[in-house]
A and B are shown apart, each in its own frame.
Chain A
Amino acid sequence: DQQVKQNSPSLSVQEGRISILNCDYTNSMFDYFLWYKKYPAEGPTFLISISSIKDKNEDGRFTVFLNKSAKHLSLHIVPSQPGDSAVYFCAASAGVSNFGNEKLTFGTGTRLTIIP
């Protein structure tokens, strides 16, 4: 049962344009969402997160949008740069507000390729 889904295994975007990566989840208990970026042979690197009490969080070129009613979140990268080429993972956790669960449930990832 895949509770966090990234339905696009790959995405190609022209340099300078906007990259939009999507993620859907099924568990309504999730209350904290994160995006990670992963290069080959390296561990995932944290990019940006959002709490369920917000619908948008912005950090430089990266913006995450959360639509709780649709159980959907997206990561926008503007403008896209060649160094952004990597695999992006969406992750979610539940019950963090209770000083509890640190378990992250990950999607299967989307490989983003930025075309120069």
Chain B
Amino acid sequence: KAGVTQTPRYLIKTRGQQVTLSCSPISGHRSVSWYQQTPGQGLQFLFEYFSETQRNKGNFPGRFSGRQFSNSRSEMNVSTLELGDSALYLCASSFRTGGGTEAFFGQGTRLTVV
């Protein structure tokens, strides 16, 4: 079974630009979550989508947004990029049975803002 696929793997953008990251979950998984990893901060939760609806949201500004499509694929968008947005962005998918399931992560997209 294919794992979680994130594209692109690496991205360099200029301050003020916007960026869209893509995530394809494991087949059959309907929940997709996004996390930001920066040195010293661990993984910070951005948001979670299930059945095309945002179910949870972390403490990030409105410049960070996302959506999920009917095939469970998800995109994350960051507008008006700032230098501090440079990070590894990780997508995770899970089956969401409600009994506590592990999330499976993709390899991430390394975003560098210059």
Contacts and interface: CB of A to CB of B under 8 A. Distances in A.
Contacts, number: 77
Contacts of B104: 46
B107 A42 contact: yes
Nearest to A101: B56
Contact of B4 (A32, A43, A97): A43
A48 to B, nearest CB: 9
Contact of A104 (B45, B96, B108): B45
B56 A108 contact: no
B90 A44 contact: yes
Interface residues of A, number: 29
Interface stretch (B35-43, B66-74, B77-85): B35-43
A32 B100 CA distance: 6
A102 B55 contact: yes
Interface in B1-54: 4, 6, 31, 33, 35, 40-45, 48, 50
Contact of B33 (A32, A36, A41, A103): A103
